[in-house]
Amino acid sequence: MGRETMTSRQRLLTALNHEQPDRVPIDLGGNQTGIHKFAYRALLDHLGIADELTIMDQVQQLAKPCEALLQRLHVDTRYIAAGAAETFDGRIRTAERNGRTWYDLTDEFGVTWSMPSDQPLYMDISYHPLADATIKDIRHYPFPKGDDPSRFKGLRERALHLRENTPYAVVSGISGVVYETCWYLRGLETWFMDMVSQPEFCAALLDQTLKFWMDWFRLFLDEVGDLVDVIMIGDDLAGQTGPLFRPTVYRELVKPRQQRLAQCIRSRTEAKIWYHTCGACTEYIPDLMENGVDILNPVQISAAGMEPSGLKARFGEQLTFWGGAIDAQHVLPSATPEKVRDDVRRNLEAFMPGGGYVFNNVHNIQAGVPPENVLALYDAAYEFGFYGP
């Protein structure tokens, strides 16, 4: 095993600049790089670490990892996130429906997310407020204010603390969800039909979600644009076998708005721009780089065309891959720890040469993943992730 010669922040920035650090940077704890509460509890019990469970993402039921665990796993990142507006009532309410107890959360956009009490794994959308809307309805819909100052209260102080008192890289929570917010509001099937049958409706709704995030980023970057190292944005564009909808529609409707947002961010900060899309997204990688994206996450290596060595060969000189550590569908949940270690080692060999790689599972560690496999995942990253002399 090698020897550490860099701080966590130096290590991450070196990798993001496509140079080789002392070892591969390791990440855990974001909205797309987190750990489900059940897997977290099991892991803490296995390690004998005491922590009071804090849910940092209600929809995905992700736990906020405690500092003791982050240090045990050699994690180089620490996250900061803005909050909701002070006027937003984000309480979870209990309701009885069809003989079951449900936990309901209505977000700032008016979308309701629900989770059954007898299977509390994550929340699904149960109400799309614009399901029957017209363009006129969009003009009169009470969209939240992205530039409400109360969202950012205390954000700079938290970021300054990390920069001045810790060695860690500072990473933002997920933001800039321009496209997905539209289908949350509309319903996925209806939205897909809209993109074909009434693109002018889609354009009107996309303009509203873009406005929210442009306003949001104006204040966010005022507060911490000089302090964050990575800014996370994203919308899922692909599924297991390829794009979720026609690439021509993406390039006509969605891409110009994503590009405006990314270019706005780039004009205000030196932070690297991280883009999240699941699935077989190679079709869109050139578009994302053209938009100004520096980093791709989660690198779903089990999807079509997402083989690590091929991705590295095609895009590795320009794009940083953040994730892709293991087949999270078929290996991490059910294989032996030895198999997990072998897969991690093989994927590191593909991704890490020349820098441009940050280690993480593909998306969040889900409920039911054995703690032994989580440890094998991260211990292998530390063991095999050192660069040569």
Mean pLDDT of 255-259: 98
In this prediction, residue 161 carries a pLDDT of 97
Q: What is the pLDDT of residues 304-315, one digit of tens each?
A: 999 999 999 999
Q: How buried is 291 (Cβ within 10 angstroms: 0-12 exposed, 13-18 middle, 19+ buried)?
A: buried
In this prediction, residue 51 carries a pLDDT of 93
Per-residue pLDDT band at 2 (split at 50, 70, 90): confident
Six-digit token string for 208: 């509203």
The pLDDT of residue 388 is above 90: no
Mean pLDDT of 210-223: 98
Q: How buried is 87 (Cβ within 10 angstroms: 0-12 exposed, 13-18 middle, 19+ buried)?
A: exposed
In this prediction, residue 365 carries a pLDDT of 98
List the domain boundaries for the chain: 8-85+142-384
The pLDDT of residue 60 is above 70: yes
Which residue matches tokens 């690198």? 299
Angle separating helix axes 37-47 and 371-384, nearest 10 degrees: 80
Q: Which CATH class is domain 8-85+142-384?
A: alpha beta
Q: Which of 283, 276, 356 is nearest to 16 (CA)?
A: 356
Mean pLDDT of 135-158: 97
Q: Are 26 and 382 in contact (CB under 8 A)?
A: yes
The pLDDT of residue 351 is above 90: yes
**Could you give the percent of the chain with pLDDT greater than 90?**
99
In this prediction, residue 236 carries a pLDDT of 96
In this prediction, residue 73 carries a pLDDT of 98
d(CA 242, CA 382): 32
Mean pLDDT of 121-140: 97
Q: What is the pLDDT of residues 18-48, one digit of tens each?
A: 999 999 999 999 999 999 999 999 999 999 9
In this prediction, residue 389 carries a pLDDT of 67
| Average pLDDT score, the chain | 97
Please provide the size of the chain in residues.
389
Per-residue pLDDT band at 94 (split at 50, 70, 90): very high
How far the first Cα of the chain sits from its last, in Å, is 11
Q: Are 129 and 109 in contact (CB under 8 A)?
A: yes
